[in-house]
Structure 1
Amino acid sequence: MRTRIKICCVASIDEAQLAIAAGADALGLVAAMPSGPGVIPDARIAQIAAWTPPPVSTFLLTAETTAARIAGHIAATQPTTVQIVSHIDLHELAELARLLPHVKRVQVIHVEGDDALGLIPAYAPHVHAFLLDSGRPCGAVPELGGTGRTHDWGISARFVRASPVPVFLAGGLDAGNIAAALRQVRPYGIDLCSRVRTDGHLDIMKLALLTSAVREADALLYAEG
């Protein structure tokens, strides 16, 4: 199995080109958030999404929490996928699926403890994938991604085994720890932001080192069966 690579916090078409050249399967485009890096205007998200060639996917990261507002955000930016960064009401997810059945839905789960596992049966019927991150949505200033922190990969591994849909792993991944993360968690894909950047800009050398480490880890895991 090949680990899919999603490069998040893409800020321009130039960065999108760098990410795709390095082997990205998906680009993350961050809309307005209460905190965190990589936020760009909706007009630029729409521009990058329109430019991105298939089969590369474009993920709109939205902090909206109702089906109507999420659908409006999608209409304004035209991504292939929406990444919902808050834990939202299940009725809203079901309504979003009814409103926009053609847009893939990815639900972020912020892994703060074992209670993350209890969200699988609730959310899974309404989404195409999960993304496990290290945010703190209930903090004084909500953190909904881009923290650069790892979380408990033991919980993530259990989540992957229990999930009926694919799972992406995010949070503090870099060339130094990616092999251990893939070996322990076995995610469908990984999500990268802060650790492949220097001074806020996508760093092609860091990205190349990480993607190379992913492919080496994939080959080893495949050989081991």
Structure 2
Amino acid sequence: MGSDDRRLEVKICGLKTAEALDAALDAGADLVGFVHFPKSPRHLALAEAPALVARVGGRARTVALLVDPDEALLAEVVAAFSPDLLQLHGKETPARVAAIRARFGREVMKALPVASRADLDNLPAYAEVADRILFDAKPDPGALLPGGNGRPFDWHLVAGLDVGRPLMLSGGLTADNVSQALSEVRMDGVDVSSGVEDAPGVKSPAKIRAFVAAARRAAAGFPDPSARAFKADGPEDLSPKVRAS
């Protein structure tokens, strides 16, 4: 994890090589994400996961990203990745999120695709059962991937939300626009994948370092980048006061 004075968490997702992972760790990323979804160019196979994840060595929290996983796949991923968090990036319902969290005893981050205000209607229900919420750009109908498409959305749609859970922003973020994003919406964290790549699934260590540095500079420019500034304390407290509007 980052030091206690870092109020903004930075997550680098879609890591699948030692070089990219080391760049994220050396840059000071708080969370490192590994994708297990065969349709994604960032897919990390079960057999490759243990050795790569072992390189983290406690320097960051680890996140395993899955899309509508069944129980068998979840069990395999938890065994291979030993993740601190499970990121659910599919159409999982609040009930399914709660069931996964209870069954596997891991913190859960639920990704919500956003294109309009109506896409936030279920936010309070998800906030009741997930440890974190990640806002991502909603893909076009029929898109191959549910996220990681390098597309921003209207950040103002998620401005001013308080659901009693840490909120993270994703979708088309880069070193060039993360400061603008954080100036428009105060979030507890930012998440990047395609924005630090030279090609789909090919991470750039230089872009990773630039993104983390830009996010840190942006956070330093806002003494209180998030009034929430939560730290995840585990699965005990799951009764947030929801004030989404």
TM-score class, shorter: 0.7 to 0.9
Q: CA deviation at 1:44?
A: 1.7
Determine the C-alpha separation between the residues in 2 that align with 1:93 and 1:68: 15
Unaligned runs of 5+ in 1: none
The equivalent residue for 2:156 is 154
Distance 1:119 1:13, change over 3 A: same
Q: Are 2:97 and 1:96 aligned?
A: no
Determine the C-alpha separation between the residues in 2 that align with 1:7 and 1:71: 24
Out of 77, 81, 101, the residue aligned to residue 81 of structure 2 is 77
Unaligned runs of 5+ in 2: 1-5, 228-245
1:151 alignment partner AA: F
Residues 186-205 of structure 1: matches in 2 within 5 Å?
186-199=186-199, 200-205=201-206
The equivalent residue for 1:111 is 114
> Contact (CA 8 Å) 1:4, 1:188: kept in 2 or not?
yes
- CA-based RMSD of the aligned residues comes to 2.2
Q: Using the aligned pairs only, state the percent identity.
A: 27
Cα displacement string for residues 130-154 of structure 1 (whole angstroms, at most 9, x for unaligned residues): 1111142x72244311100101101
The equivalent residue for 1:19 is 24
> Contact (CA 8 Å) 1:150, 1:172: kept in 2 or not?
yes
Compute the TM-score of the two structures, normalised by the length of structure 2: 0.81
Cα displacement string for residues 191-212 of structure 1 (whole angstroms, at most 9, x for unaligned residues): 1111212234322322232222
Determine the C-alpha separation between the residues in 2 that align with 1:116 and 1:140: 17
> Contact (CA 8 Å) 1:150, 1:171: kept in 2 or not?
yes
Compute the TM-score of the two structures, normalised by the length of structure 1: 0.88
1:194 alignment partner AA: S
Q: CA deviation at 1:33?
A: 4.5
Q: Are 2:48 and 1:47 aligned?
A: no
Determine the C-alpha separation between the residues in 1 that align with 2:206 and 2:143: 33
> Contact (CA 8 Å) 1:67, 1:92: kept in 2 or not?
no
SS in 1 for 2:86: strand
SS in 1 for 2:159: helix
Determine the C-alpha separation between the residues in 1 that align with 2:206 and 2:50: 27
Determine the C-alpha separation between the residues in 1 that align with 2:44 and 2:169: 23
| Structure with the higher helix share, 1 or 2 | 1
Q: Are 2:37 and 1:7 aligned?
A: no
Q: Are 2:150 and 1:145 aligned?
A: no
Out of 60, 68, 85, the residue aligned to residue 64 of structure 1 is 68
SS in 2 for 1:221: coil
Q: CA deviation at 1:117?
A: 2.0
Cα displacement string for residues 9-53 of structure 1 (whole angstroms, at most 9, x for unaligned residues): 10122221111001111111011254x431121222233223312
